Structure 1
Amino acid sequence: MSIVKSPITVMATFLWIGFVCAISFLEAWLKFQAPGITLSLGLGIGRLVFNMLNKVEWVFAIAIFINLIIQAKKGFKLPYLVFIIPLVLLAIQSIWLLPALDARAELYIQNQPVPPSNNHFYYVGMEALKVISLVVFGISQFKKQTI
């Protein structure tokens, strides 16, 4: 039998995973399959959705961080270090990668020349690493209890 150390941390972690998987790995490319969606329209939608996803991710990250601070009063745990990975990735995405992708999308929308870039690959890689680390962190929030 397992018990949950912090229900808020577990809920926020797995909701965060769900949001990232649903948007980054499903919605992002699927919207371009819809009839009548042009590249410019799809990019405009994507900019809105990913900017909102980023804000929601920060809400989850802050909720988890606050709960970890509360839990740290009982002693610092090694699994807390795993949480640093998605936190750092989210910061990199917020400060550098999303603004760069947003500017690139704006060039497409304005019919301007767009130089080649690997930023989408970096973003997908970061999202995959973020999900993996959140899964590991989320599982670490369960404690086995013997009966």
Structure 2
Amino acid sequence: MPDTSRRPFHLSISSVAILWLGLLLGVSFIATPAKFAAPTLTLPVALDVGRVTFSLFSKIEWVMAALLLLNVFIAKPSKTIAGATLIAGLIVLFQALYLLPMLDERMTAAIAGSPQPSSVHHAIYVWLEATKALLLATIAAMAILGAIRQPADPSASYRSRVTA
């Protein structure tokens, strides 16, 4: 029999990672590009909606990161899952404390009619979103595998049945 004592935590880790990944894909890679493709939506309005959306999404990501980190702390999964979770959390921290305020300032200027010269901040944000998506997919897949993994020693389940 596989060790199922940590299975609920692995399933919780995978659930949080999958939910967070779905939100990330929906906000960053579907809704945002679609908004800018709408011909009747003016650029200032699209930027303002984007600012509000990403401000709210940043708060949601703080909650998702905290839930994921808490589950990882309790479950003590593989170092890969723990490391990927830590990196995803650090990305959220960097985006919230540095990139979002920088991009918000640029959007405020653009909405006011004074766009600033281009910068790499938006590209960095997009690359970090893609990295976070890959990390979350990895965390989810590895946590699911951790939940269903058989013991490494095939005789372990036999010994536990014999001694029970």
Q: Percent identity between the aligned chains?
A: 29
Higher helix share: 2
Q: Distance in 1 between matches of 2:95 and 2:132?
A: 11
RMSD: 2.0
Partner-residue secondary structure (3-state), 1:83: helix
Can you give the 5+ residue segments of structure 1 that lack an aligned partner in the other structure? none
Q: 4+ residue stretches of structure 1 with deviation over 4 A?
A: 2-5
CA distance in 1 between partners of 2:30 and 2:47 (Å):
15
So what's the TM-score if we normalise by structure 2? Answer: 0.80
**Shift of residue 113 of structure 1?**
3.7
Q: Is the 8 A contact 1:24 1:127 kept in 2?
A: yes
Equivalent AA in structure 2 for residue 68 of structure 1? V
The letter of the residue matching 1:77 is S
* Contact preservation (8 Å) 1:97, 1:123: yes
Higher strand share: 1
Bigger Cα Rg: 2
Residue segments in structure 2 that go unaligned for 5+ positions in a row? 152-156, 158-164
Question: Is the CA contact (8 Å cut-off) linking 2:69 and 2:86 kept in structure 1?
Answer: no
Distance in 1 of aligned mates of 2:68 and 2:36 = 33
1:58-117 C-alpha deviation (Å, 9 max, x unpaired) = 111111111122223xxx631211211111111110010011111100001011141221
- TM-score computed with the length of structure 1 as normaliser: 0.88
Tell me what 1:37 maps to. Answer: 41
